[in-house]
Structure 1
Amino acid sequence: MVRIRGRLGRGELSGVARAAFGGRELVSVERLRGGSKKGVYRLVLDDRTTGIAYVWNADEDYWTDVATQDRSDPFGHASGLDLFETAHAALSSTAVRVPRVEMLDRSRSLLAGEVAVLEDVRGGTLEALWERDPGRAGRVSARLGDVVRTMHDSRRDRYGRPGIDRAGVDPVEWLVLCRALRHLGEAAARVDRIAAVEHRLLGLLHDRHAAVAPRTEYGFIHGELGPDHVLVDDHDEPVLIDIEGAMFFDIEWEHVFLELRFGSRYSHFRRNDLDGDRVRFYRLAMYLSLVAGPLRLLEGDFPDRPAMLEIVEQNIGRTLAQLS
């Protein structure tokens, strides 16, 4: 099948729509913005029914150079129908609202790739709601805080993705350190301001890692929970999307990301039982990942370059501020 990268249309998706919704005709397709590992398309049918198609294949995945495809690795490439389906089931079992599944297809007979068709939650993202209606967004954010606490209080004694056991593996904090050291090297090779203080950042990473005490219990986290990954339904309930990276892990890892993405609205998620040493260590590791990762992505043909460059610049600043 020959087509332009990331631009499926009615011809390609009509069979997907028929499989999900029966005999109704697909009248239009809209590719939704965002996403670097899968294509996201709104399907509009002749009776005004809509659905969302997720498409996983090589043409939709801009991460052509990933550290590992090992799905048992918590930091492995979080993409594909298997990870989506397992995460969807695990989140649903903890009463977390995720879009309803209409159809799953692994056959690759409908399309050159794996496909899921989901409920179309039409209330937009929480991020957009903040701009339109801050009061309503505040209520949704408070409910999201309750959802996140429910997730994080779901515990087990092994870290990793749901449905995958990892026994006898390195401590979580060691995995984070190894990943952060790799990201520091990548960032220093590409950013002069990071290279100028690489040795200081190296020492700081080791010092913060050394301060972290061992742990043997882990909470269930989304993995990349920003306001753009939360939809709002007709009842003002938060609906989580982009869930393939969900896993059992240190909840401090998620809180560092929540703090970064929600800013002053982080108060909805704050809790008093976080390990401060882990938070300090994970902040630095997270900032380095958000310098190295986007720069690696930009070495390919990812289209939204200004947004990625803005993420890089913000996190260079955050990284350097850790030395103050």
Structure 2
Amino acid sequence: MTRVFLRPGDLHALVVEQFGGDRRVAVLERVTGGSKKGVYRLGLDDRSTVMLYVWAAGENYWPPSPAVPDDPFTDASGADLFAAGHAALTAAGVRVPHLMMLDRDGRYLDADLALVEDAGALRLEALLHRDPAAAAGPLSALGDALRRMHTTFGPDYGKLAAIARGEASQTRPPQDVIVDRALGHLDAAAARDARLADAHHRIAAHVRRLRGAVTARKEYGLVHGELGPDHVLVTPTGEPVMIDFEGLTYFDVEWDHAWLQMRFGDSYPALRPVDLDPHRLELYRYAQTLSLIEGPLRIADTDFPDREWMLDLAEHHITKALAAT
């Protein structure tokens, strides 16, 4: 598809209504890295800046794929999910960008919009690479925030909005959902890579062995879904700000920690995690490995601008998946 991104003139009505008739967009920057929504930094002519999130078909690079019906991490994008996640994290005492305006009625564009505080361009990922000592304070504060999230419990697992509507009553353990999700990702990835096709039986058997070690438990905390240091901004005062939380759900907290261990690496212990079930953690870690093969291979078939990065990511996780069997 031909993608047409926002231009300053498209935002005239929004800027006038939100900031006054004497304000204009001086600079409009589409921030790179997003694949499901558009993220824009608006520089106004008074030198202030704000961020605009845009949920529209032309901003979403992900093609559809088969999904497990009760997988709470499916379709984790949209203004409604953003609003629910923002409210829940704020209530849990987790720092997120201040919400200035949410438009789900198409008042300004043929898209859902959120106007939020510009918490800065420095990501914790970059700070950890550039100055680990300076990252110690934000890491510690992020660990505090994660413990507040992971000890905020819900009655069942599922998307927040579905639980609020009474639509998330689950009939099977969450680890069984993850097994089906992982095997679906394996099937899709094996259709694209001969090595995975050859190892399909071994990988599926490994997933089922990991599932067999997981015992029953019903305790569901708030989880981000795919939290890495690239999803945390650091303000000039060193405050960590969590972003990209549309996938927020009640689920086993081990799901978050599998991502955290992978993405934070040697810095992970500084987060001082809550107690975890090692067997559940191992299953979820391997399921995420398969997800990080299937997803990148699928988006690499589209016009996503950083296709080689996605292919490299898939290759890294193919190596991990095969090594485990």
CA distance in 2, matches of 1:6, 1:153: 43
CA gap 1:119/1:6 in 2 versus in 1, 3 angstroms: farther
- Normalised by the size of structure 2, how large is the TM-score? 0.94
Show the counterpart of 1:125.
123
Q: Is the 8 A contact 2:156 2:170 kept in 1?
A: no
For 1:261-276, list aligned pairs within 5 A: 261-271=263-273, 273-276=275-278
CA offset digits 1:209-242 (Å, max 9, x no partner): 1211111111111111111110011321100000
- SS for the counterpart of 2:309 is helix
Show the counterpart of 1:192.
194
CA distance in 1, matches of 2:68, 2:20: 35
CA gap 1:19/1:318 in 2 versus in 1, 3 angstroms: farther
For 1:89-168, list aligned pairs within 5 A: 89-165=87-163, 166-168=168-170
Of the candidates 5, 10, 13, which is equivalent to residue 15 of structure 1? 13
CA offset digits 1:229-287 (Å, max 9, x no partner): 10011321100000100111011111111111111111123546211111111111110
Show the counterpart of 1:83.
81
- SS for the counterpart of 1:78 is coil
Paired-residue identity, %? 46
Q: Is the 8 A contact 1:177 1:285 kept in 2?
A: yes
- SS for the counterpart of 2:161 is coil
Structure 2 runs not aligned, ≥5 long: none
**Number of residue pairs aligned between Structure 1 and Structure 2:** 320
Letter in 2 for 1:159: Y
Q: Is the 8 A contact 2:68 2:180 kept in 1?
A: no
Q: Is the 8 A contact 2:150 2:274 kept in 1?
A: no
Of the candidates 312, 315, 321, which is equivalent to residue 313 of structure 1? 315
Q: Is the 8 A contact 2:155 2:220 kept in 1?
A: yes
Show the counterpart of 2:30.
31
Structure 1 runs not aligned, ≥5 long: none
CA distance in 1, matches of 2:320, 2:142: 26
- SS for the counterpart of 2:116 is strand
CA distance in 1, matches of 2:18, 2:228: 29
Q: Structure 1 stretches (4+) deviating beyond 6 angstroms? A: none
Of the candidates 166, 171, 175, which is equivalent to residue 173 of structure 1? 175
Give how far 1:67 is off.
Answer: 3.4
Q: Is the 8 A contact 2:157 2:170 kept in 1?
A: no
- Normalised by the size of structure 1, how large is the TM-score? 0.94
Comparing 241-250 with 181-190, greater Cα deviation is found at 181-190
Letter in 1 for 2:104: R
Of the candidates 246, 252, 255, which is equivalent to residue 253 of structure 1? 255
Comparing 123-132 with 232-241, greater Cα deviation is found at 123-132
CA distance in 1, matches of 2:147, 2:4: 36
CA distance in 2, matches of 1:275, 1:52: 38
RMSD of aligned residue pairs (Cα, Å): 1.8
